[in-house]
């Protein structure tokens, strides 16, 4: 069900606009929390609230769509630039695909840009989003924030022993946001829908399968995805470290 929220403002003759789309319909099974991890509180707010606030700090974004599970009533926003769509699917890719349909229903056009960003990446900063937009807005394909892998990489055998070292010279760790034209991402995902989006773990992986090569835009290691139980304390520490010392809180 898509909520009956009004569409984004119609500026049909405007040049390409940018929208953010946040998949927020996962269960957070690796995080070990009682409720989905996006609703855990760190540094005084829920992960999803930190994430949406970072995106609302980007004036170039015309709107922010949040994709939650069909039965999820935990997220609402009073902000006029935010829409909540209850169309989450079984996988992240399915949630993004459904959200992209809702975004188009809300007025996004094929030539507009969509920046897909994980709800669980609550350390994102507006400057990183702006750097991505600046790097991709003239790009024929689009791109994503990523960081070069700093560690030596090992391949494990069935017994959990290292049997090969992988050349990391050209290996990057993909983050989000990932920024593509609505038409590019829609057709890339649509082509994978019959296969149940198998192997599609981010937007770039779907776009790559069409033969296009997304631009890698260097981001920050602080923009990690809260995934495991220990990540909450790390997120808390990073968020607290960004505050003026007078506003720092005790860990909740």
Site residues (vs ligand CTP, CB under 6 A): 23-31, 38, 67, 88-92, 95, 118-120, 225, 227
Closest approach of ligand CTP to the CB of residue 140, in Å = 27
Closest approach of ligand CTP to the CB of residue 25, in Å = 4
Pick 30 or 218: Cβ nearer ligand CTP: 30
Closest approach of ligand CTP to the CB of residue 243, in Å = 24
Pick 173 or 227: Cβ nearer ligand CTP: 227
Pick 71 or 138: Cβ nearer ligand CTP: 71
Whether the ω angle into residue 177 lies within 30 degrees of 0, i.e. cis, is yes
**Whole-angstrom Cα distance, residue 232 to residue 36?**
13
How far lies 60's CA from each of 2, 23, 174, in Å?
25, 20, 23
Pick 11 or 201: Cβ nearer ligand CTP: 201
- Pick from 250, 231, 228, 229: which is nearest to 240 by CA? 250
Tell me, what DSSP letter sits at residue 2? B
Closest approach of ligand CTP to the CB of residue 117, in Å = 8
**Whole-angstrom Cα distance, residue 118 to residue 250?**
26
CB atoms under 10 Å from CB of 248, counted, come to: 13
């Amino acid at each position: 069900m898509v909520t009956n929220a009004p569409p984004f403002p119609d500026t049909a003759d405007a040049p390409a606009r940018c929208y953010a789309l946040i998949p927020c319909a996962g269960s957070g099974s690796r995080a070990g929390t009682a409720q989905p991890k996006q609703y855990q509180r760190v540094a005084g707010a829920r992960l999803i609230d930190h994430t949406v606030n970072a995106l609302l700090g980007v004036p170039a974004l015309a709107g922010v769509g949040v994709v939650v599970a069909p039965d999820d009533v935990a997220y609402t926003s009073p902000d006029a630039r935010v829409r909540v769509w209850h169309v989450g699917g079984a996988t992240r890719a399915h949630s993004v695909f459904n959200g992209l349909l809702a975004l188009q229903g809300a007025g996004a056009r094929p030539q507009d840009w969509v920046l897909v960003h994980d709800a669980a990446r609550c350390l994102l900063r507006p400057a990183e989003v702006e750097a991505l937009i600046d790097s991709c807005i003239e790009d024929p394909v689009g791109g994503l924030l990523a960081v070069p892998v700093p560690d030596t990489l090992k391949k494990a055998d069935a017994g959990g022993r290292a049997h090969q070292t992988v050349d990391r010279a050209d290996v990057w760790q993909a983050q989000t946001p990932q920024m593509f034209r609505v038409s590019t991402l829609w057709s890339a995902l649509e082509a994978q829908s019959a296969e149940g989006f198998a192997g599609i773990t981010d937007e770039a992986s779907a776009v790559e399968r069409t033969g296009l090569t997304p631009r890698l835009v260097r981001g920050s290691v602080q923009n990690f995805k809260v995934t495991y139980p220990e990540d909450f304390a790390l997120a808390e520490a990073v968020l607290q470290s960004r505050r003026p010392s007078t506003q720092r809180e005790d860990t909740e």
